[in-house]
């Protein structure tokens, strides 16, 4: 009887957990280890979803049920490339699946983008979500802020900046984030998109929620509303686009006298960010007016406007990070692959190495796409593992499941476990219960690790 196929999954966000779950339900006899560089699982669901969106965070419930079964081993606080290498993983596993996501901000090449006061949205999201690898403080000194982008992350950034901290207290927002937001003098947040209202990437629910933030008015500008043939077709063919356009259009019909809140979120369309103004730090934003070209795309008009702001956040997308000894497409920010099979510089499949999630296809799509994406990768892995009986696929030299734990221990890696996460999870919930909240996150990595590793004693 052959030994189980040994598979390592690197990354314990939705992509990695879905891949491990789908693999565990195939006909293969398989042993799966799930490696995560943080002491906590769940990836961007824990560290990329705004704290005032508990509905989206309910995805964690489904992910929890997968890991709680016990047939997938979680090994946390292990940084690939530092604590463990690809060669070492290949020594212990027949296949390695990379599900490391995309956590960097995509670049925006305009003058002034590197001025003090210009930030990436991903970094800000990591801060307000209590990510252990970012500074505990954030410079919230601006009264007027620009957010560049027309997706849900842009709305999250604008909402968190404009929302009064008292309205965030029922969430799991960390104490240092509450303290920082409470000191913010912000009054106006301007969100800029270069295309029209029918081309935005907001989800209908996110947009509607924006209109119900206490003491925050939504301001739109009728001159920014234009619809060409491409826009009309998008509205006819997509119920989501239709809902978004209706919400935005309804806001244009409100009496300006109704706008009495102490803070405002301004939504600007048909504005291309052209330059961030300032010498020593951000003092403004110059945009170029665009116009619809007929097919839903836009062209520049050569007309410019300037807005006084003291901070700019770019929310123009996420971007993948290269991994040590793994092929990487630096232009696209992904691991080159064919259906999840990782390809070398010659376009040949690197035997036993796979990718799934955003590091495979780029940071697009919703959680549902991540699951179907994982299914494609696993189907190809299973096909490779069973080809000609699968004898050559079982390439791991060290097949004892405890050997990798021994290696980490001998190297002084303070790894964590699923049992440790359950201890940390209970600790955070207890902190929240004492304050009348569901959870208060522990932020410092060392504290997270110490609490989690208490389960090993």
Give the single-character DSSP code of 2.
P
CATH code that applies to domain 104-318: 3.50.50.60
Give me the pLDDT at residue 395, please: 86
Phi, psi of 98 (to 5 degrees): -95, 125
Tell me how crowded residue 58 is: count the other CB atoms within 10 A of its CB. Answer: 10
Region of residue 384 (left: phi > 0; alpha: psi -120 to 50; beta: else): alpha
For the chain, the first-to-last Cα distance in angstroms comes to 36
How many angstroms separate the CA atoms of 437 and 166, rounded?
13
Of 136, 135, 151, 144, the residue nearest 50 (C-alpha): 151
Distance CA 187, CA 200 (A): 24
Which pLDDT value is given to residue 180? 95
> Chunked in runs of 10, what are the mean pLDDT values of the chain (457 residues)?
88 97 96 97 91 80 95 98 96 97 91 97 95 94 97 95 93 91 97 96 91 95 94 95 95 86 97 97 98 95 98 94 96 96 96 96 79 95 85 85 97 97 96 89 95 90
Give the count of beta carbons closer than 10 Å to the beta carbon of residue 27: 7
- DSSP reduced 3-state for 432: helix
Q: Which residues of 301-325 are buried (b: 16+ CB within 10 A; e: fewer)?
A: eeeeeebebbbbbbbbbbbbeebee
- Give helix 239-252 / helix 229-237 axis angle, nearest 10°: 120
Domain ranges of the chain: 5-103+321-413, 104-318
CB-count exposure of residue 288 (10 Å: 0-12, 13-18, 19+): middle
Integer Cα distance of 124 and 400 in angstroms: 42
Which pair of tokens denotes residue 186? 């912000």
What local confidence, expressed as pLDDT, does residue 390 receive? 65
Pairwise CA distance, residues 51 & 42, whole Å = 14
User: CA-to-CA distance for 145 and 315, rounded, in angstroms?
Assistant: 13
pTM over 0.85: yes
Confidence at residue 34, expressed as pLDDT on a 0 to 100 scale: 98
Q: Residue 232 CA to chain centroid, in angstroms? A: 31
| Fold equal for 5-103+321-413 and 104-318 | no
Domain 5-103+321-413 has CATH 3.30.1300.10: no
CA-wise closest residue to 90 among 415, 323, 404, 408: 404
Burial pattern 116-137, b for ≥16 Cβ within 10 A else e, equals ebbbbbbbbbbbbbbbbebeee
**DSSP structure class, residue 195:** S
Phi, psi at 393, each rounded to 5°: -75, -30
């Amino acid at each position: 009887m052959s030994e189980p196929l040994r598979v390592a999954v690197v990354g314990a966000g939705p992509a990695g957990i879905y891949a491990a779950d789908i693999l565990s339900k195939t006909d293969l006899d398989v042993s799966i280890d799930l490696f995560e560089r943080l002491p906590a699982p769940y990836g961007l669901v824990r560290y990329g979803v705004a704290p005032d969106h508990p509905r989206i965070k309910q995805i964690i419930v489904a992910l929890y049920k997968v890991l709680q079964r016990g047939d997938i081993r979680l090994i946390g606080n292990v940084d690939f490339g530092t604590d463990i290498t690809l060669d070492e993983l290949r020594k212990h596993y027949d296949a390695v699946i990379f599900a490391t996501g995309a956590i960097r901000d995509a670049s925006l090449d305009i003058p002034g983008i590197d001025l003090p006061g210009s930030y990436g949205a991903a970094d800000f999201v990591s801060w307000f979500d209590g990510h252990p690898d970012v500074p505990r403080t954030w410079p919230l000194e601006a009264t007027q802020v620009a957010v560049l982008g027309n997706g849900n992350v842009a709305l999250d950034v604008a909402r968190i900046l404009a929302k009064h901290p008292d309205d965030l207290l029922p969430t799991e927002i960390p104490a240092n984030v509450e303290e920082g937001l409470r000191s913010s003098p912000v009054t106006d947040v301007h969100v800029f998109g270069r295309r029209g209202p029918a081309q935005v990437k907001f989800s209908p629910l996110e947009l509607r929620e924006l209109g119900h933030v206490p003491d925050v008015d939504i301001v739109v500008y009728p001159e920014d509303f234009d619809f060409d043939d491409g826009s009309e077709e998008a509205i006819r063919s997509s119920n989501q686009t239709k809902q978004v356009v209706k919400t935005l259009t309804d806001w244009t019909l409100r009496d300006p006298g109704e706008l009495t809140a102490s803070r405002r979120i301004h939504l600007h369309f048909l504005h291309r960010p052209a330059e961030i103004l300032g010498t020593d730090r951000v003092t403004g934003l110059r945009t170029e007016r665009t116009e619809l070209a007929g097919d839903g795309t836009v062209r520049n008009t050569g007309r410019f406007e300037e807005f006084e702001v003291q901070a700019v956040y770019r929310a123009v997308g996420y971007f993948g990070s290269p991994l040590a000894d793994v092929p990487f497409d630096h232009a696209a920010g992904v691991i080159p692959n064919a259906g999840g099979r990782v390809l070398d510089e010659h376009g040949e499949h690197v035997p036993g190495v796979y990718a799934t999630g955003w590091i495979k296809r780029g940071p697009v799509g919703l959680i549902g796409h991540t699951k179907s994406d994982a299914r494609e990768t696993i189907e190809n892995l299973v096909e490779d593992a069973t080809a000609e009986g699968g004898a050559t696929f079982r390439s791991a030299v060290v097949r004892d499941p405890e050997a990798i734990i021994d290696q980490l221990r001998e190297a002084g890696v303070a790894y964590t476990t699923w049992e440790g996460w359950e201890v940390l999870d209970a600790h955070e919930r207890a902190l929240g219960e004492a304050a009348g909240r569901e959870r208060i996150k522990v932020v410092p990595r060392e504290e997270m690790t110490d609490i989690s590793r208490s389960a090993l004693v």
